[in-house]
């Protein structure tokens, strides 16, 4: 399984990097929209929505929302949308503490989970496009994703080597505190190196390191929320599109959580550019 995951990542990582670095922000936003729509579909299924017509209807609604968000791109609405995303992940921490909430397969719980999915998907899309459009934004977008990817790797190896104390055994038994610490160290180190290469110096580099630590912490919350959704839905993976990796939600859960936080921090600290 580890070899399969590695080979899949070996194919996906260069493709993701090219998609980030080569196109304009408009083309990048369109490509990301397609991936996020697929993730939205998986989230709807995890929420308990099984009616195919309703799923297609939600997909169409999501397309319209992405078009409206693009119209708002670069306006005063962007910080508000990022703030909504950050607020959602703070609320998600409360949900993790009360993990049985929403478990029953009722219509009310399904509606709440779908509403939560909107705050998972759309602010992350706004965050990506907001970072990508900034000076040196292609590279800052890549750095944001590399921080999350590297923290996942750090969590995996640190957890396997030192992991004993469980992080959230009722939600995701495989995650440990050692894995969380490993993720934090890896993410901060990558942010420091990446920030230095992008011309960030002195106090702003320290601020970027702090932002990376917060971003990694929130990315772990995103991972746990998706694990909770899968536990409620009684499935192992959100999908099977990637061999050894599951579905798009399985790959993007941490990213969805990390992006609004990182984007808000980058804009508040005025980090893009030397």
CB 171 within 8 A of CB 231: yes
Looking at the chain, the whole-number percentage of residues with pLDDT higher than 90 is 80
Helix or strand holding residue 93 (H, E): helix 77-97
SS3 of residue 133 by DSSP: coil
Q: Is residue 251 part of a domain?
A: yes
Global pTM reads 0.93
For residue 14, name the pLDDT band (cuts at 50, 70, 90). Answer: confident
Pair 256, 124: CB distance under 8 Å: yes
Residue 142 lies in a domain: yes
Domain tally, the chain: 1
Q: Taking 60 as the threshold, does the pLDDT of residue 244 lie above it?
A: no
pLDDT on residue 98: 94
Instruction: Give the mean pLDDT of 224-250.
Output: 82
Q: For position 4, what pLDDT does the model report? A: 62
Inside any domain, residue 194: yes
Specify if 43 maps to a domain: yes
Residue pLDDT, tens place only, 140-180: 999 999 999 999 999 989 998 998 899 999 999 999 999 99
The answer to whether position 274 is within a domain reads no
**Is 248 inside a domain boundary?**
yes
Least Cα distance to 180 among 151, 148, 144, 147 occurs for 151
Output DSSP code: residue 167.
E
- Residue 84: domain span: 2-269
């Amino acid at each position: 399984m580890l070899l399969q995951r590695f080979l899949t990542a070996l194919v996906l990582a260069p493709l993701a990097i090219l998609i980030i670095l080569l196109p304009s922000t408009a083309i990048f936003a369109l490509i990301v929209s397609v991936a996020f729509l697929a993730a939205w579909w998986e989230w709807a299924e995890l929420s308990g929505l099984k009616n195919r017509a309703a799923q297609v209807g939600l997909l169409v609604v999501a397309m319209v929302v992405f078009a409206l968000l693009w119209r708002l791109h670069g306006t005063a609405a962007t910080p508000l949308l990022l703030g909504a995303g950050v607020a959602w992940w703070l609320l998600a921490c409360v949900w993790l503490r009360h993990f049985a909430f929403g478990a029953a397969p009722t219509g009310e719980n399904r509606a709440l989970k779908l509403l939560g999915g909107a705050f998972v998907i759309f602010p992350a899309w706004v965050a990506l496009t907001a970072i990508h459009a900034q000076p040196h934004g292609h590279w800052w977008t890549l750095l944001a994703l590399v921080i999350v990817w590297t923290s996942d790797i750090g969590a995996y190896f640190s957890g396997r080597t030192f992991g004993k104390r469980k992080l959230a055994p009722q939600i995701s038994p495989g995650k440990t505190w050692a894995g969380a610490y490993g993720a934090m160290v890896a993410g901060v180190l990558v942010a420091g190196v990446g920030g230095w290469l992008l011309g960030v110096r002195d106090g702003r580099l320290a601020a970027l390191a702090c932002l990376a630590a917060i971003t990694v912490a929130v990315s772990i919350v995103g991972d746990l929320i998706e694990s909770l959704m899968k536990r409620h839905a009684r499935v192992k993976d959100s999908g099977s599109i990637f061999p050894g990796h599951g579905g798009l939600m399985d790959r993007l859960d941490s990213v969805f959580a990390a992006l609004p936080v990182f984007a808000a921090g980058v804009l508040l600290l005025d980090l893009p550019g030397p």
